[in-house]
Amino acid sequence: MTTSRDWQQIESEYYMQTVRRVPVTLARGKDSTVWDDQGREYLDFVGGWATATLGHSHPAMVQAITEQAGALIQTSNAFYTIPQIELAQLLIDNSCMDRVFFCNSGAEAVEGAIKVARRYGALHRDGAYEIITALDSFHGRTMTTVAATGQPHYQEALRPLTPGFLHVPFNDIEAIRDATTERTVAVMLEPVQGEGGVNVPAPGYLAAVRAWCDEHNLLLILDEVQTGVGRLGHLFGYQAFGVEPDVMALAKGLGGGVPIGAFLTRGRADALTYGDHGSTYGGNVLTTAAALAVIRTVLSEDIPGRVRAAGERMINALRAVADRHAAIVDVRGMGLLIAVQFTEEIAADLLAACLERGLLVNRVRPNALRLMPPLTLSNADMDRGIAILEDAIAAVAG
């Protein structure tokens, strides 16, 4: 029998070594639990990297995918398909946005948003093209979204970068004001920075950015790839801050684990026209059928409301753990996007200690773990996971 370690050995010889993986070979999942190829069980606080909106293998998704796979899998966008149109309608009717384009990933969604801004600048702003983004942001791994990302370590090996991006400190409205010139066409931000360490902006920051964009005819692009679709306890993150974007990017939670992304425009930002964009698989009938099942379930079961309550409960429970362990310096987040920060760079050791005890977590910084469980996480699983985490902290940090 081929063991987990055998598979990992084969991977090391055949697969490009770009990601340092956790030494677990996953084979099955249900709700907030996953099993490895040997049948060992783990509670999953990584949640398919914040994609598991409905948990693993939710029956509504399984049914939608199975039925659609039996009917039709791919058509190309030369033709209409009903799930794509229904999903578009559902997203627009439940957001402040007016139009949507479906793609296959977060990076592609952000690429689309950037195209919208470039095209808007060409049409309405005398060729303005520069986009202000934040330090510690993450916008994707394509050449252009890497240039947009405000973390130099993603960029170092890839120069020259796509021009037209300016990075300023997050949570600093003055920095955006100072960076704005006649070349600026847009400001692009994550409502809460995810990969940057779960950084929640101060109250009023996003509203101040919105006001500045209105004053200067700039587009506000919100990269909601991680924050969208319930993660922050609202269907979309912008609703938590009372700020409406002109362009929004979605992906992770939208497909509930199936690869789909979207970028959406509101009003004057509807700048793309025939020939400006396209995609062979974008809006594919199988993935849109899956996402349709996700969004319908999110709405009918008020997942955002449940996440609001669960997030508060989880942050409070983690703050109680912090009171008992001096190694924790900060617990922060919103909804079910939470980081626990430590005095020392012990996140890798903690990840290993959690793994031994049957809990999957993400090391978002050398000194911080990120928790992004399925949005359907039960209170019992939440408590079990936090107890494992506390035990791991006691073992690693004393």
Ligand X SMILES: *Cc1c(COP(=O)(O)O)cnc(C)c1O
CB of 219 to ligand X, least distance (A): 17
Q: In the complex with ligand X, which residue's Cβ is closer, 140 or 245?
A: 140
CB of 56 to ligand X, least distance (A): 18
Instruction: Candidates 219, 225, 229, 291: give the one binding ligand X (CB under 6 A).
Output: 225
Stretch that binds ligand X, among 6-14, 133-141, 159-167, 310-318 (CB under 6 A): 133-141
Stretch that binds ligand X, among 104-112, 303-311, 364-372, 383-391 (CB under 6 A): 104-112
Cβ atoms < 10 Å from Cβ of 301: 14
Q: In the complex with ligand X, which residue's Cβ is closer, 180 or 226?
A: 226
**Closest residue by beta carbon to ligand X:** 106
104-252-191-202 Cα dihedral, nearest 10 degrees: -160
CB of 107 to ligand X, least distance (A): 3
Q: Kindly state whether residue 228 participates in binding ligand X, applying the rule CB under 6 A.
A: no
Which x/- pattern, by CB under 6 A, does the window 306-335 give for ligand X?
------------------------------
Stretch that binds ligand X, among 14-22, 94-102, 128-136, 222-230 (CB under 6 A): 222-230
Asked if residues 262 and 111 have their Cβ atoms less than 8 Å apart, the reply is: no
Q: Kindly state whether residue 107 participates in binding ligand X, applying the rule CB under 6 A.
A: yes
Instruction: Candidates 251, 269, 292, 317: give the one binding ligand X (CB under 6 A).
Output: 251
Q: Kindly state whether residue 246 participates in binding ligand X, applying the rule CB under 6 A.
A: no
Stretch that binds ligand X, among 103-111, 160-168, 266-274, 370-378 (CB under 6 A): 103-111
Q: How far apart are CA 312 and CA 305, in angstroms?
A: 11
Contacts of 298 (CB under 8 A, 6+ apart): 53, 54, 229, 230, 235, 304, 375
Q: Kindly state whether residue 373 participates in binding ligand X, applying the rule CB under 6 A.
A: no
Sign of CA dihedral 360, 366, 367, 368: negative
Q: How far apart are CA 218 and CA 100, in angstroms?
A: 20
Instruction: Candidates 48, 106, 164, 230: give the one binding ligand X (CB under 6 A).
Output: 106
The radius of gyration of the chain from alpha carbons, rounded to an integer in Å, stands at 21
Q: Kindly state whether residue 253 participates in binding ligand X, applying the rule CB under 6 A.
A: no
Q: How far apart are CA 398 and CA 391, in angstroms?
A: 10
Asked if residues 384 and 62 have their Cβ atoms less than 8 Å apart, the reply is: no
Of 153, 193, 122, 156, nearest to 339 by C-alpha is: 193
Phi/psi at 61 (nearest 5 deg)?
Answer: -75, -45
CB of 217 to ligand X, least distance (A): 25
- Footprint of ligand X on residues 137-176 (CB under 6 A)? 138-140
Q: How far apart are CA 167 and CA 163, in angstroms?
A: 12
Q: Kindly state whether residue 31 participates in binding ligand X, applying the rule CB under 6 A.
A: no
Mapped onto helix, strand or coil, the DSSP state of residue 191 is coil
Instruction: Candidates 44, 111, 130, 223: give the one binding ligand X (CB under 6 A).
Output: 223
* Angle separating helix axes 303-324 and 379-397, nearest 10 degrees: 30
Amino acid, single-letter form, for residue 354: C
Q: Kindly state whether residue 196 participates in binding ligand X, applying the rule CB under 6 A.
A: no
Mapped onto helix, strand or coil, the DSSP state of residue 362 is strand
Residues binding ligand X (CB under 6 A): 105-107, 110, 138-140, 190, 194-195, 223, 225-226, 251-252
